[in-house]
Amino acid sequence: MAPNLTYALSATGLLLVLPLAMTSCSTFESSESNPLLQTWNTPFGTPPFDQIHTEDFEPAFATAMERNLAEVDAITAITDAPTFDNTIAALEKSGNDLARVSRVFSALTSSATSDELRAIQSRMAPRLAAHSSTITLNAELFARIDDLVSRQATLGLDAEQARVLERTHTRFVRAGAKLQGEDRARLAAITEELAGLSTSFSQNVQKSAEAFSLVLKNEADRAGLPDFAVSAAAQAGADRGMEGQHVITLARSSFEPFMTFSTRRDLREALFEGWTNRGDNDDEFDNEKNIRRILQLRLERARLLGYADFSAYRTSNTMAGTAQAAQNLLEEVWTGALAKADAEANRIREMMRKEGAGHELRTWDWWHYAEKARAAFYDLDEDEVKAYLSLDNVLRAQFAVAKRLFGISFTERNDIPTYHPDVRVWEVKSAAGAHVGLFYGDYFARPGKRSGAWMSALRTQHGMGDGSTPLIMNNCNYNKPAPGKPALVTMREAEVVFHEFGHALHGLLSNVTYPSISGTSVDYDFVEFPAQIYEHWMRQPAVIQEFALHHETGEPMPKALLDRVRAAANAQSGFDNVEYIASGLVDLAFHGITDPKVLAELNVNAFEDEVLAKAGKPAAIEMRHRSPHFLHSFAGDLYASGYYTYMWAGVLDNDGFAAFEEAGDIYDNGLAKKLYEYVYSAGNSRPAMEAYVGFRGREPSTGPLIRNRGLDAGNSSGD
């Protein structure tokens, strides 16, 4: 599942929550030589990464912010009555320099960071937050927006303009525009402090992960590992300047194969402890104080804005509408997930008994014995499956599906500057041959790159003025193969590639006029739907048979193997859903606390334990993201009290793909056109449920999700 944390960068002239900011060490004159502020004479106006240096960022931020404030001042200085064009459209056009600098900086701090960039990020975070507050709390600017809303019926706006006006007004109100006096000043201070804390939290997680490595000193330490895992460990050692040594890191693509195949239980336990204790080692990277303070400030902000708690504030502007609705969905699926996980645990314990294991089932045993049970029950060898799943062929598959559905094509370009040699770039064209945008792919783990998988934008689409074509990026963290060897991925990793590409298509296919509603700038519990529905195509036999080709022979995956892969798809769905929902329940619980005194004295680990004990979480399954490294929840507000959104979108994507199944054609032309019109191209031009109904013809049902995940037993469909 994709963090998508870089979505925090809004597509408007307002940069709302991205943890970057300006310093006071620059003036307008610096723009003459600063590559970040010059016209980019590169193909398609792409960032000239080969010309940009670390020292360029702080002066560029300062100048870009000065320009942004000058643009806002020009709007408020207008003496004529507010109109859509002189206020809202002018606001949409503002902040382009700031957005451009911020997106480049975000790409580097996420994918190719350094101590110098981290230091800049820490200095900038509170200052950019203060800049954002200066705009959203500008009384004269909000008065113009508020006046337009009061006269909206007389303005003659088209549907898209009306939507932009409504979303702009809502955004300002939620940012505190209606507050007065001390409350306004206090909210600005909270926003500034939160930006710094979120940056500190995310940097601590990355530093904590990078500080850990499990060195496999000899053949005994590598016992049970397949060739691909040994090769990846050798490459990880080389990447860390430990040539000739085999290293297991806390990148998921390194962690999970070791936990699955290693026969060294002691080393599995050591690796799991490193994994689960990121940000929680009572050292300089410990995040408990950050969590406590973030929760205190979020509660205070919610109270200032008239909400009982942060969860109420966060969900009030979503499809769910309330935290209780989100909680209800998680609990509905939780029941079936627990039953399925119990059955899986019993099968694993039987496997352990047969092997003579004399210990209880613990979390660091689960992957290992679950794979053995899966291999025995389904006659399935992960190494055998991976042989048919080269990353290159998975990329070909994602492009081919997009062409079948939406008529677009992808051609690799070698003339686009990038920030690392691993990054690849493709030009996207319409069926008529028109340029649509560029797609960047950065798929391998390395030092300086944060963990996980995500989509981000170096430029978003809009139709104002001369318009703008999107520059969209996918990041993953797979093991880089040895030179001359293909990168092989698991079926789940292939699905993640498709997931992130679904997000990318949401940005690439956007076709709206105004930046603030472009691409992925939708309700945060709708944003995962375009990504999660796209995963379904990777699971289809027609796609697998065409693109799952043996990396040595070129032969397609045999039908017998494909049948076993599909039969085993839900072998771990109990475990997967329990660990995910556990994190979602804790996320909601943290943000549902209403007593500031409780937060001031909060023991993070004890609170987690209390919530999960009450829910009945099995002891042998750990939550997917423990709070000290829970980037979704604490490295910015986007997914705070919102981790439930993957399940919410799961209802949508399973129900939505069922439409193609019902049509008997996974490329049904009529459905593909509706999916394009109402979802991928529409941005936030209409409310999320209206968009879904426009595509599907009705509101969604939970039945397909529960059925597809194999959670039917003992659970209602929810229809």
Q: Which one, of 512, 476, 466, lies nearest residue 680 by Cα? A: 512
Please say whether the beta carbons of 467 and 515 come within 8 A.
no
Residue 599 contacts by C-beta under 8 Å, 6 or more apart in sequence?
292, 295, 296, 299, 593
Backbone angles phi, psi at 20, to 5 degrees: -135, 160
**Helix crossing, 529-538 with 391-406: angle to 10°?**
110
What Rg value do the Cα atoms of the chain yield, rounded?
A: 25
Contacts from 229-235 at CB under 8 Å and sequence distance 24+? 229/257, 229/258, 229/261, 231/479, 231/481, 231/482, 231/485, 232/257, 232/479, 232/480, 232/481, 233/258, 234/482, 235/479, 235/480, 235/481, 235/482
Q: Which one, of 21, 55, 38, lies nearest residue 47 by Cα? A: 38
Residue 78 contacts by C-beta under 8 Å, 6 or more apart in sequence?
86, 87
Measured distance CA(144)–CA(165) in Å, rounded: 11
Confirm whether 699 is a catalytic residue. Answer: no
Helix (H) or strand (E) holding 459: strand 454-459
Q: Which one, of 374, 381, 510, lies nearest residue 437 by Cα? A: 510
Measured distance CA(152)–CA(156) in Å, rounded: 8
Catalytic pick among 58, 495, 500, 535: 500
Please say whether the beta carbons of 538 and 494 come within 8 A.
yes
Please say whether the beta carbons of 311 and 648 come within 8 A.
no
Please say whether the beta carbons of 538 and 397 come within 8 A.
yes
Residue 345 contacts by C-beta under 8 Å, 6 or more apart in sequence?
361, 618, 620
Residue 469 contacts by C-beta under 8 Å, 6 or more apart in sequence?
44, 435, 436, 437, 438, 459, 461
Write the CA distances from 348 to 491, 567, 713, integer angstroms: 21, 18, 19
For the chain, the 3-state helix, strand and coil shares in percent, each to the nearest 5, are 55, 5, 35
**Residues labelled catalytic:** 500
